[in-house]
Amino acid sequence: MLAAIGVDSVEELFDQIPGPLRLGRPLDLPAGMSEAEVYERLTALAERNADAEKQVCFLGAGMYDHYVPAIVDAITSRSEFLTPYTPYQPEISQGGLQVMFEFQTAMSELTGLPVSNAGLYEGPSSVASAGYLAMGATKRAKFVVSRGVHPHSRETLRTYSVGYGAEVVEVGLAGGVTDAAALAAAVDEETAAVILQSPNFLGAVEDVEALGAAAQEHGALLVVACDPMTLGILKPPGECGADIALGEGQPLGNRLDFGGPSFGFFCATEAQIRRMPGRIAGETEDVDGRRGFVLALQTREQHIRREKATNNICTAQALNALGAMVHLAWLGREGFRELGELLVRRTAYARERLAAVEGVELLHDAPVVREFAVRLDAPVERVLDRVAERGIAAGYPLGREYEEFEDGLLVAITERRTREQIDALAEALEAAIAGERGEKLSHSDSRAPRGATEGAVA
Amino acid sequence: MQRERATTIYEKSKSGRRAAVIAAAGVPETPISELIPANLLRDEPPNLPEVAEPEIVRHYNRLSRRNFDLDSGFYPLGSCTMKHNPRLNERVAALPGHARLHPAQDPRRAQGALELMYLLQASLAEICGLPSVSLQPSAGSHGELAGLLLTRAFHADRGEVRTKVLAPDTSHGTNPASVTMAGYEVVKVATNERGGVEMDDLRAKIAADPDQIACLMLTNPNTLGLFDENIEEIAALIHAAGGTLYYDGANLNAIMGQTRPGDMGFDIVHLNLHKSFSQPHGGGGPGAGPIAVSERIEPFLPRPQVVRREGSGGHGASFDLDFERPKSIGRLRGFQGNFGVFVRSYAYILSLGADGLAEASETAVLNANYLKARLAEGCAGERLPVAFDRHCMHEFVLSGRPLKNELGLATLDLAKRLLDFGFHPPTVYFPLLVDEALMVEPTETETKESLDAFADAIEEILAEAETDPEIARNAPYSTPVRRLDEVRATRKPVVRQTLA
């Protein structure tokens, strides 16, 4: 090979790098390892994580421990789906392109909006992309965002807004849902988009239709983030006046993976089709009149339009979207609805069961589908530690993101969480709260005569 | 590949068929309308296909056979680094400790995951020659946006507002798209006769408005596969003007263990874990685009950052998510990034080690130069001359201009004819400054035999075109569909199936 190139060594090929810039030493990394050694090393790391097989997981907050059917792994691990690049050569990428087309059809059905793209990175950055679209569509630069929108989405939107030059105004919650009066007051003629989430971060189902009127009145776009798993039950955003419906796709056919990779879905009205971010597959024909699929509307995209592109994104999280499509086909029309109903009923049971525990009360009583918030009459992080000792991850401490809910706990239910596990959670919370109270009591009474303390605990 | 007519999963749907069995709730079967007000409920379930499991399996297996993939053959797609995806990586990513770990798990109970992220950060920092890494960006273009927001924050912290970002005319399309999204204006820099940055043009563009230059975005080796020998001077010019130097890491596969962006003077680097670090491309994602930065950029990195806390009182070191970063640009996405990708890329780095990474780059460069030499022979050398005739790094660019002028055959025709020969074509019509461009990146994965077979196929296609160019002009013939009407798909887009 060197002779064909006309050099004496591979080293000569690197002569184009100026000498002082050559590293001139090995990288300071360990030597290579055998496959078995790498496996052992990574298994040892994995063992140190309290995953949902080691702990009963009531954590949600945007990603959920659903059962991913075996058929999803079987199909997504096929090398024909796993190893190709983006379908730039449609004649040899019909499989992937058709999956995108089917996925777009399914997401349109779920959200009630006619246009879907083939997927974005994940949920929160999809919200930021919606903001960018809304700025282009309205020539305005202000977003009115409910505090019910996922804190990561709000923060991501703010990060992006510093770049594209937009203002983010937050509207608070009342009774667990967006404060309608405050929202109406915040929206004006400068507002590019009103951004809501339903169910919101506290699990409450928002009245999107009523809240969205403020957007329509002032010519702003209505953007609704939603949990796809709830759309077998809830009225789709497209029927509530949404211009854009988007969200985190993980609940559909994707593993938890400590937060990624998953995908974001992004659906919109026909009016926005030429402003959409990301890849979109379209149906067409070949020269013989044979049905086929291609990447449509590529003139929106960075590889054609460069600085005038509607977004800089090139990835579609195609493999993750395939997982979602297979999961949806596996659930099917009836199964998807039944699963939604199961979530509503088990969640209702869990909410009632937990609310009956001494030291637990509901944070709000708005309707919920699969997640709800409670207040604990004991320090939340300490209660979580005690419950963890029983092998249960009780939920997400709301104080991490909401100073107004320092005592809040967000509990998520999936079809994997059985009645017995819910009962065990209730018992563990009861014991943990009692334990914390007892400890507090014994601390505060530590100067009192010993007999008095014993009497108080008894 | 199959030539049967495409049928969608929806067209296989028959009312009443199903795959999933949903468990009994095991709790009171309260009517849903008593739990959620009727005005918030949907009237009809969404129209999802009704198909039994065997038909779902057959359907998607059939679709899979209508895809060409890296495991089926040579995939010399320039700038995309289609290297082998070791299956070990899939196995370790699927371990329950990784795959079923909730992202909101308390960091004290996710120590293995955080340590893995910390070790990956450290490995990437060493490869880049820069002190700090954030794994958060989800892809290369996300890393670019991060880099520009970091630049903005860096300048704002010094009380400066700058408006312009320089990028060569050979840059990836994502560069200018990211510049606009980050609220900057793109200023194009010309390319010189050696394929590098035209220094006089760069000097002139900087001198025209030095206080407004925020950043120069560069790929090195660039999209022509050529290393810019003037990089030290370029870095000095940009830094003297007060700008940052951004490294688009799409071409990192050429330089691992050979030279480092940090040593060249770059402030911010993004890495495509799905290119150099073997994450499968998945037909268009997922990937990950971590960024490595210099000390002066570090305070602005996205939050949270994975940190190591030294132990005390008999406890060992531990790992944590650090949110207390007052100068941070904030989040770019939810949770901690594409962890599943991190597992695969860390497994890849462990497998190859220091020597293996350096050898991968050497082999990638050797393969590219060999294939370039093979294509300089015979018809190819005449009809498809290399755009810049010098040793290349990991990829090279040919111009199909003579082929077009002399035989009336476009680069697109050649690409489509390659499909009939069982090859994925190179990247076509990019970079824009080369007429009828073909950008070829063989990667270290390929053997001499597969490179020879590709060169032979090109030669055969060109020989065939000498006598009958119509064959290539109407290609492909053997694929599931032939040339598709892409114009119609944009003029009258049909982006979903209309369901009854």
> Any idea where the domains of chain A sit in the sequence?
70-327, 333-457
Q: Choose from B336, B481, B492, B497 for mutation: most chain A CBs within 10 A.
A: B481
Q: Using a CB-CB distance cutoff of 8 angstroms, which residues of chain B are in contact with residue A63?
A: 102-104, 334-335
Considering only the beta carbons, identify the residue of A62, A102, A338 that sits closest to B9.
A102
CA distances (Å), A263 to each of A97, A167, B385, in order? 17, 26, 42
Considering only the beta carbons, identify the residue of B20, B30, B391 that sits closest to A332.
B20
Longest dimension (CA), chain B: 82
Q: Which of B374, B398, B375 is nearest to B386 (CA)?
A: B398
- Whether residues B332 and A51 touch (CB distance < 8 A) is answered with no
Is residue A453 pLDDT above 80, yes or no? Answer: no
Per residue in B193-231, pLDDT tens?
A: 999 999 999 999 999 999 999 999 999 999 999 999 999
**CATH tag for A333-457 (out of 3.30.930.10, 3.10.129.10, 3.40.50.360, 3.90.1150.10):** 3.90.1150.10
- Whether residues A7 and B37 touch (CB distance < 8 A) is answered with no
Q: Which residues of A164-185 are buried (b: 16+ CB within 10 A; e: fewer)?
A: bebebeebebeebbbbbebbbe
- Whether residues A47 and B112 touch (CB distance < 8 A) is answered with yes
Q: Choose from B66, B220, B245 for mutation: most chain A CBs within 10 A.
A: B66
A309 φ, ψ to 5°? -65, 155
Considering only the beta carbons, identify the residue of A53, A81, A342 that sits closest to B67.
A81
Domain with CATH 3.90.1150.10 in chain B: 358-486
As a whole number of angstroms, the distance between CA A346 and CA A354 comes to 12
Considering only the beta carbons, identify the residue of B6, B25, B50 that sits closest to A98.
B6
- What is the architecture of the domain spanning B88-348? 3-Layer(aba) Sandwich (3.40)
Per residue in A366-392, pLDDT tens?
A: 999 999 999 999 999 999 999 999 999
**Could you tell me how far CA A252 lies from the centroid of its own chain?**
10
- The domain made up of A70-327 has a fold known as Aspartate Aminotransferase; domain 2 (3.40.640)
Which residue is closest to B264 within chain A, CA to CA?
A: A21
Per residue in A130-174, pLDDT tens?
A: 999 999 999 999 999 999 999 999 999 999 999 999 999 999 999
pLDDT band at A451 (very low <50, low <70, confident <90, very high): very low
**CATH tag for B358-486 (out of 3.90.1150.10, 1.10.10.10, 3.30.930.10, 3.30.200.20):** 3.90.1150.10
As a whole number of angstroms, the distance between CA B362 and CA B254 comes to 7
Please state the rounded mean pLDDT for residues B27-36: 97
Domain with CATH 3.40.640.10 in chain B: 88-348
CB pairs under 8 A between A and B: 695
Q: Choose from A307, A327, A400 for mutation: most chain B CBs within 10 A.
A: A307
Q: Are strands B244-249 and B268-271 parallel, antiparallel or unpaired?
A: parallel
Residue B432 CB neighbour total at 10 angstroms:
13
Per residue in B472-496, pLDDT tens?
A: 999 999 999 999 999 999 999 999 9
Q: Using a CB-CB distance cutoff of 8 angstroms, which residues of chain B are in contact with residue A49?
A: 97-98, 101, 105, 109-113
- Whether residues A124 and B331 touch (CB distance < 8 A) is answered with yes
Considering only the beta carbons, identify the residue of A109, A163, A239 that sits closest to B149.
A163
For residue A215, the model assigns a pLDDT of 98
Per residue in B370-398, pLDDT tens?
A: 999 999 999 999 999 999 999 999 999 99
Considering only the beta carbons, identify the residue of A114, A163, A235 that sits closest to B152.
A163
DSSP string for B16-51: T-----PPP--S----HHHHS-GGGB-SS-------
Which residue is closest to B339 within chain A, CA to CA?
A: A260
Q: Using a CB-CB distance cutoff of 8 angstroms, which residues of chain A are in contact with residue B149?
A: 159-160, 162-163
For residue A454, the model assigns a pLDDT of 37
Is residue A450 pLDDT above 50, yes or no? Answer: no
Q: Which of B174, B350, B164 is nearest to B272 (CA)?
A: B174
ipTM greater than cut 0.95:
yes
